[in-house]
């Protein structure tokens, strides 16, 4: 039956043309964006996965920068250790020469002193971006190494810990500087106690087994905040150096502004500080003393080959110092190699993630090109089919002539 009201052929041709045009539009988007999944509408599951992985890739770029910074820092420390090892080896040659009686030990000792100064110069200069891993100013540093995502989607970071090697010079002398504190859990060079809420405790900073020297450092940590006082030459010459240190620490603790904490100084009791916790939270208080000459190469300052006895004792000392420098260099070399391996792995991992994301969302351009041409032909045929279907009712006019 033919009808002028319902043109089934035209409707079929129209639906077919709409489908072709829709497919053609999708193909054109893929060609213009280069992606088969350009937004969540295209494929929500694949789009969500790709966005998570893209965020991880961005994170790994930051990790790569962190590893580069860490590797440079460790490389500086390793180079310093190797240089110090070479200088100490030169010093050993001078010390060996001083074992002979028929030499000018005074001149040799001058050369040894110059090498000491050079060692100190290398140690002081061995910093990268303000971080020095060989002068004893820090115990360790963490280098961000990876982002770890578990099956539940939780993300945690992991780091490579670089242990610093204290190669500062000077010999450590125990001072037993802390006394009078109840509940002390460590020796005289360190102290730790808990200051109960609404409680009072007394800390005495004194010189029970020696005197303070210029450069000595006393630190106090209250909760998670730390203050310190370094003894100056004028302080060391004072009659009551412990009072000077106590007052300096009190001023700094007061400046912390810890709620409820008051620190009182008793001028009648040398070096005595009374801590009162008027708050409602217990406070942990710890103290640490560091001698001005403490360090891994502390024995170097005692080397003196101007006499036969000094030259003899210096020979054993220099062997120990060279061993310390070699151990430091080996330690830094090991961790530098680890950081380098992690950096290479991180770069490879980021590339693999990029390839994986690309496999999910990138368009196959060869396929898209072939599909585009096929759809364009189909579009032309669809237009002609619709045109023919639209002309079909006109043939009915011949029935009425």
Query: pLDDT tens across 120-177, in order?
Result: 899 989 999 889 999 877 888 999 888 888 778 788 888 899 998 988 875 556 566 7
Domain total in the chain? 2
The bridge status of strand 127-128 relative to strand 131-132 is: antiparallel
Please report whether residue 250 resides in a domain. yes
Q: Are residues 70 and 103 in the same domain?
A: yes
C-alpha separations of 238 from 87, 164, 291 in Å: 38, 35, 18
Q: Are 353 and 56 in contact (CB under 8 A)?
A: yes
Q: Are residues 195 and 280 in the same domain?
A: yes
Euclidean distance between CA atoms 62 and 46, whole angstroms = 25
**Residue 65: strand pairing partners:** none
Please report whether residue 19 resides in a domain. no
Q: Are residues 278 and 192 in the same domain?
A: yes
pLDDT (tens digit per residue) in 329-344 = 999 999 999 999 999 9
pLDDT at residue 182, as a whole number: 57
Euclidean distance between CA atoms 79 and 260, whole angstroms = 48
Phi/psi at 292 (nearest 5 deg)? -60, -30
Q: Are residues 340 and 272 in the same domain?
A: no
C-alpha dihedral sign at 37, 43, 48, 52: negative
Euclidean distance between CA atoms 46 and 40, whole angstroms = 8
Euclidean distance between CA atoms 303 and 309, whole angstroms = 11
What is the value of pTM for the model shown? 0.58
Please report whether residue 389 resides in a domain. no
Torsion from C-alpha of 316, 320, 326, 330, nearest 10 degrees? 150
3-class SS string, the chain: CCCCCCCHHHHHHHHHHHHHHHHHHHHHHHHHHCECCCCCCCCHHHHHHHHHHHHHHHHHHHHHHHHHHHHHHHHHHHHHHHHHHHHHHHHHHHHHHCCCCCCCHHHHHHHHHHHHHHHHHHHHHCEECCEECCCCCCCEEEEEEEEEECCCCCEEEEEEEEECCCCCECCCCCCCCEECCCCCCCCCCEEEEEECCCEEEEEEECCCCCCCCCCCEEEEEECCEEEEEECCHHHHHCCCHHHHHHHHHHHHHHHHCCCCEEEEECCCCCCEEEEEECCCCCEEEEEEEECCCCCCEHHHHHCCCCCHHHHHHHHHHHHHHHHHHHHHHHHHHHHHHHHHHHHHHHHHHHHHHHHHHHHHHECCHHHHHHHHHHHHHHHHHHHHHHHHHHHHHHHHHHHHC
Q: What angle do CA 346, 348, 351 make, to 5 degrees?
A: 110
Q: Are residues 208 and 255 in the same domain?
A: yes
CATH (domain of 108): 1.20.1330.10
Q: Which residues contact 294 (CB under 8 A, 6 or more apart)?
A: 136, 166, 168, 170, 171, 172
CB count, 10 Å around CB of 375? 21
The bridge status of strand 190-195 relative to strand 283-290 is: antiparallel
Q: Are residues 191 and 327 in the same domain?
A: no
C-alpha separations of 25 from 17, 42, 214, 367, 379 in Å: 12, 13, 80, 15, 11
Euclidean distance between CA atoms 376 and 399, whole angstroms = 38
Phi/psi at 156 (nearest 5 deg)? -135, 145
CB count, 10 Å around CB of 131? 18
Please report whether residue 142 resides in a domain. yes
Task: Count Cα atoms within 13 angstroms, Cβ side, for 136.
Answer: 17
- Tokens 């003894």 -> residue: 231
pLDDT at residue 185, as a whole number: 45
Please report whether residue 242 resides in a domain. yes
Please report whether residue 18 resides in a domain. no
Q: Are residues 245 and 269 in the same domain?
A: yes
Q: Are residues 183 and 161 in the same domain?
A: no
pLDDT at residue 67, as a whole number: 92
pLDDT at residue 180, as a whole number: 63
Name residues of the chain where pLDDT drops below 70.
1, 170-176, 180-189, 206-211, 214-215, 292-294
C-alpha separations of 152 from 55, 56, 148, 362 in Å: 16, 15, 11, 26
Please report whether residue 8 resides in a domain. no
Domain of 89 in residue numbering reads as: 48-170+297-354
Q: Are residues 254 and 223 in the same domain?
A: yes
pLDDT at residue 78, as a whole number: 95
Please report whether residue 371 resides in a domain. no
pLDDT at residue 184, as a whole number: 47
Rg (CA), the chain: 39
Q: Are residues 58 and 139 in the same domain?
A: yes
**Residue 58: strand pairing partners:** none
Q: Are residues 132 and 162 in the same domain?
A: yes
Q: Are residues 99 and 238 in the same domain?
A: no
């Amino acid at each position: 039956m033919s009808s002028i009201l319902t043109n089934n052929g035209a409707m079929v041709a129209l639906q077919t043309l709409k489908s072709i045009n829709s497919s053609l539009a999708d193909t054109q988007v893929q060609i213009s964006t280069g992606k088969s999944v350009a937004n969540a509408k295209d494929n929500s599951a694949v789009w969500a996965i790709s966005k998570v992985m893209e965020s991880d890739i961005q994170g790994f770029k930051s990790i790569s920068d962190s590893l580069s910074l860490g590797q440079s820092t460790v490389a500086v420390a390793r180079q310093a250790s190797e240089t110090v090892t070479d200088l100490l080896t030169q010093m050993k040659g001078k010390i060996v020469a001083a074992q002979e009686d028929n030499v000018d030990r005074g001149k040799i000792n001058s050369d040894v002193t110059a090498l000491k100064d050079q060692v100190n110069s290398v140690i002081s200069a061995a910093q990268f971006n303000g971080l020095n891993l060989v002068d004893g100013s820090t115990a360790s540093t963490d280098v961000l190494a990876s982002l770890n995502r578990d099956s539940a989607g939780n993300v945690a970071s992991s780091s490579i810990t670089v242990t610093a090697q204290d190669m500062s010079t000077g010999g450590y002398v125990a001072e037993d500087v802390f006394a009078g504190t109840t509940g002390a859990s460590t020796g005289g060079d360190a102290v730790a106690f808990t200051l109960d809420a609404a409680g009072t405790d007394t800390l005495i900073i004194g010189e029970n087994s020696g005197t303070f020297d210029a450069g000595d450092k006393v630190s106090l940590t209250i909760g998670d905040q730390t203050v310190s006082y370094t003894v100056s030459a004028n302080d060391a010459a004072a009659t009551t150096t412990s009072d000077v240190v106590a007052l300096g620490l009190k001023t700094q603790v007061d400046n912390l502004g810890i709620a409820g904490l008051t620190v009182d100084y008793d001028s009648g009791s040398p070096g005595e500080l009374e801590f009162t916790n008027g708050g409602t939270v217990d406070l942990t208080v710890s103290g640490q003393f560091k001698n001005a000459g403490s360090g891994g190469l502390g024995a170097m300052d005692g080397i003196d080959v101007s006499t036969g006895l000094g030259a003899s004792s210096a020979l054993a000392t220099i062997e120990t110092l060279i061993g310390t420098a070699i151990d430091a260099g080996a330690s830094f070399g090991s961790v530098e190699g680890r950081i380098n391996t992690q950096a290479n792995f991180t770069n490879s991992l980021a590339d693999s993630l990029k390839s994986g994301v690309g496999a999910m969302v990138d368009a196959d351009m060869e396929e898209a090109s072939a599909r585009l041409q096929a759809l364009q032909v189909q579009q032309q045929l669809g237009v002609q089919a619709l045109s023919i279907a639209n002309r079909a009712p006109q043939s009915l006019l011949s029935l009425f002539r």
